[in-house]
Amino acid sequence: MLKAEEKLRAVALQAIAEQKQTMKQMRTVGEKQNTAELLSLLSSVQEKLESVEVEPNDDSETFERLQLSTLIRTTQMVEVVSEKTAERITVKSDVKTMMCFESFVTDLQDVDWQIMKVNQFGRVVSHTKD
């Protein structure tokens, strides 16, 4: 399955790069892109993906992936002192960070966790001046 995924990913990246180059050339020349042209560019990417030949033995191996999602809640406090007025400002924020890790785990020697996605949300709880 991995070989097939890698082939598809490589073809998709190449096709997208070609389409970006085509769109860039169109902008350079000053041509306006209409919806039909954009759709034809997208359909050509799809055609390239469909033309990829997957060999039967590409699916013979099984690979396992493990995903780990975490939610980290922190309280952050930032204190700033003005050099000129010596005024002190303190801002306290509650922050939630969601992280998604992923790794192939078929072979323990190959476990290599990578961060796949990070979302951070925060809100100011207090803002004080001294």
Length of the chain: 130
Question: Whole-angstrom Cα distance, residue 6 to residue 10?
Answer: 6
* φ and ψ at residue 121, rounded to 5 degrees: -125, 140
What is the model's pLDDT at position 98? 93
Mean of pLDDT values over 18-35: 71
What does the mean pLDDT of the chain come to?
79
What is the model's pLDDT at position 39? 72
Give tens-digit pLDDT for 36-61.
776 776 777 777 777 777 666 655 56
- Please give the share of the chain, as a percent, with pLDDT higher than 70: 79
DSSP secondary structure letter of residue 82? -
Buried b / exposed e along 10-27 (16+ C-beta atoms within 10 A): ebeeebeeebeeeeeeee
Give tens-digit pLDDT for 103-121.
887 777 778 888 889 999 9
* φ and ψ at residue 104, rounded to 5 degrees: -75, 135
Does the pLDDT of residue 83 top 90, yes or no?
A: no
3-state helix, strand, coil in the chain (%, to 5): 40, 40, 20
* Residues 6+ away with beta carbon under 8 Å from 11: 48, 49, 52
